[in-house]
C-alpha cells in the first residue's frame, strides 16, 4: 500500500496530512477554509487518492499560510508515498470540462518541480478565499510533491467553474500518472534509471 502521513508545524500553521495513493477517493478535509475544503474533496474523489487533511492556521491574519502549508504537507505526503516512483506511468493529462469552462492539466511525476499557471480569474474572491491563493496552492503542491505541473484554463466565464475544473483536471492527471504500468512495474520510468 502506497501511503504516507505528514505532520507540519510552524508558528503560523499546524497541518496533519495523509494520502493513500491506491485508495478509493475518500477524503476527510478540514482546513478551516470552506472553498479549499471543497476543492480538496474534488481532488480526492476524482484521483481515487484517499486524502485526509486537518489544519489549524492563523486564519485571523488571512488564508495565505493555511493554503500554502496545506499544499506543502499534502505534496510531501504524496512524494513520500510514491517512494522511488518505480513502475508508475509518470505522466498524466486531462481535459476537464465544467459547464462553459474547459481546462487542461498535464503532470510529470519527474521529481523536478515546476509550475506553469495559465489561469486568469476575473474576481478577487471565491467564498472568503482570495483567488490569487489558488496559484500559491498549485505552486506549493508541485514543489513539495516533486512534479512538473502545467495548468491552463482554455476558456470559461464562471470563476468557480474555472478553479474547480483545474482541481478536477489535476485529479484525473494524477490518477493516470501514479497508476502502475503493468508492462514495466519493476522499472523506474526514466532513461536515467532514477527520478
Q: Where are the domains of the chain?
A: 3-184
**CA of 157: how far to CAs of 45, 101, 107, 123, 153, in Å?**
24, 7, 25, 11, 10
Euclidean distance between CA atoms 60 and 133, whole angstroms = 16
Global confidence as pTM: 0.97
What per-residue confidence (pLDDT) applies to 127? 87
Residue 102 pLDDT more than 90? yes
Residues in the chain, overall count? 195
Mean pLDDT of the chain: 97
Q: What is the pLDDT at residue 38?
A: 97
Cβ count within 10 A of residue 18: 19
18 phi/psi in degrees, rounded to 5: -145, 150
Whole-number pLDDT of residue 93: 98
What pLDDT is recorded for position 119?
Answer: 98
Q: What is the DSSP string of 122-158?
A: SSSEETTEETHHHHHHHHHHHHHHT-EEEEEEEE-S-
pLDDT band of residue 68 (cuts 50, 70, 90) is: very high
pLDDT at 1 over 90: no
How far, in Å, are 42, 70, 179 from residue 15 at the CA level? Answer: 19, 6, 27
CA-wise closest residue to 30 among 20, 50, 16, 19:
16
**What percent of the chain stands above pLDDT 70?**
100
**Residue 111: its pLDDT value, please?**
96
Q: What is the mean pLDDT of residues 129-143?
A: 97
Asked if residue 156 has pLDDT above 90, the reply is: yes
Angle at 16 between CA 15 and CA 17, to 5 degrees: 115
pLDDT of residue 115: 98
| pLDDT of 104 above 90 | yes
The CA R_g of the chain, rounded to the nearest whole Å, is: 16
* Rounded CA separation 115/48 (Å): 23
Mean pLDDT, to the nearest integer, of 28-54? 98
Architecture of domain 3-184: 2-Layer Sandwich (3.30)
- Grid coordinates belonging to 147: 512534479
The answer, yes or no, to whether residue 167 has pLDDT greater than 90, is yes
Mean pLDDT confidence for 87-91? 97
Amino acid at each position: 500500500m502506497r501511503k504516507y502521513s505528514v505532520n507540519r508545524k510552524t508558528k503560523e500553521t499546524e497541518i496533519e496530512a495523509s494520502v493513500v495513493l491506491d485508495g478509493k477517493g475518500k477524503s476527510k478535509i478540514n482546513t478551516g477554509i470552506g472553498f479549499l475544503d471543497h476543492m480538496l474533496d474534488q481532488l480526492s474523489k476524482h484521483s481515487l487518492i484517499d486524502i485526509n487533511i486537518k489544519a489549524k492556521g492563523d486564519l485571523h491574519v488571512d488564508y495565505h499560510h493555511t493554503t500554502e502549508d496545506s499544499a506543502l504537507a499534502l505534496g510531501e505526503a504524496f512524494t513520500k508515498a510514491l517512494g522511488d516512483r518505480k513502475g508508475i506511468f509518470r505522466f498524466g493529462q486531462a481535459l476537464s470540462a465544467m459547464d462553459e469552462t474547459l481546462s487542461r492539466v498535464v503532470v510529470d511525476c519527474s521529481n523536478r518541480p515546476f509550475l506553469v499557471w495559465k489561469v486568469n480569474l476575473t474576481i478577487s474572491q471565491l467564498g472568503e478565499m482570495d483567488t490569487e491563493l489558488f496559484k500559491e496552492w498549485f505552486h506549493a503542491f508541485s514543489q513539495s510533491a516533486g512534479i512538473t505541473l502545467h495548468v491552463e484554463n482554455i476558456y470559461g466565464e464562471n470563476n468557480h467553474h474555472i478553479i474547480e475544473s483545474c482541481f478536477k483536471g489535476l485529479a484525473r492527471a494524477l490518477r493516470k500518472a501514479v497508476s502502475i504500468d503493468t508492462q514495466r512495474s519493476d522499472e523506474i520510468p526514466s532513461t536515467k534509471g532514477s527520478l
